[in-house]
Structure 1
């Protein structure tokens, strides 16, 4: 579509799943995309190669989020790839998976989840601000878990709720620079990596029965929402949490 030509973007956790779809979509719209990965180097290289085959531009950057020096490592690679150019779009997508109900969670798993899902995005934003062009975009992936009581995802929902609060406060703080800040909250989204989960007997049917649009989400559904918020079409919108779940758990379907 070309509406992001001349712009640069970084997508964390972009080697697979929703992050890969976001990177592909932003590149298809014209942005040069830094494809961040933690441990999946081969998958990240595949994402970059796919973007380049489609005529886009991308490069991979590595950092194991949730570890000491993670943000320094990420930005060392990002700044090499940008080669002095500013950053236009930051997408905080990388996340650790839910750690289970409160009865079986551990301090170690809890701390790891918050290090990846809360601390890393917060300090990535902090480090990005001097690079981020006025009129830039910050978009964080959260979850419908913040509005649905799921006992198996308590800590996960707490972390995603923190990102939604961060979104609101940063939108107020950065508005004078023309920077918009948003969160996108996916629901049940089938990707290549988690497809087996939805093969559990009756699970896909149960979820679609609770979804207003009557199907599971696709990674591209979320990527298209990110692309809208990253574009000039969303210039007068900020501080929002955009539900991209197809209407999961809106209420009883009749």
Structure 2
């Protein structure tokens, strides 16, 4: 009789992602953006803190350690708003923290500096925690991604839009564009936005490998944390990734 080796089943692991965010709509509805990941049954997304949107640091001063080595100077505001809530959350097992900020068109030229400020606040976490935390941008803001799945907008607002043909991350004023669709009815970013997010097909949003680099990088980081194998779902294998935030994929 030939013996057969069996691979032991991997233990079940349930992961929680804590969101630290800057937008108003995100306070209530941001976890819905990740509903396709939560449908896997192995993770949950929850809001842990809303923070003010941060600009690049203008204080260039650095303090010296006793050995004369320059050390990062993190403003106390950043520690209070980002480092401490993330640390408290990451003290729990099987948890990850994500800082999510809108990157409006007017701030794109500052994107690297803004990223560095958020990232610096996470890099002072203990070594076993800082790589379980990341920073990502919604470009130009959350509402931009609605236009990649026009059916979701139409179902809520009663419009007859077609999917945006270009990269929705280049739409300068997506929230304003939504408000212009029906000036009489208007667009309520919380009430209507929440309903659109509930219907939004993120896999469709990320189906074009040449678009949505920032959102794809966010989802790629989450799936890597979950230990999911790399596939071409969401165009992970061939799709564009953010030049600014993709470096975090190497350390998660």
TM-score (norm 2): 0.39
Q: Which has the higher strand share?
A: 1
Larger-Rg structure: 2
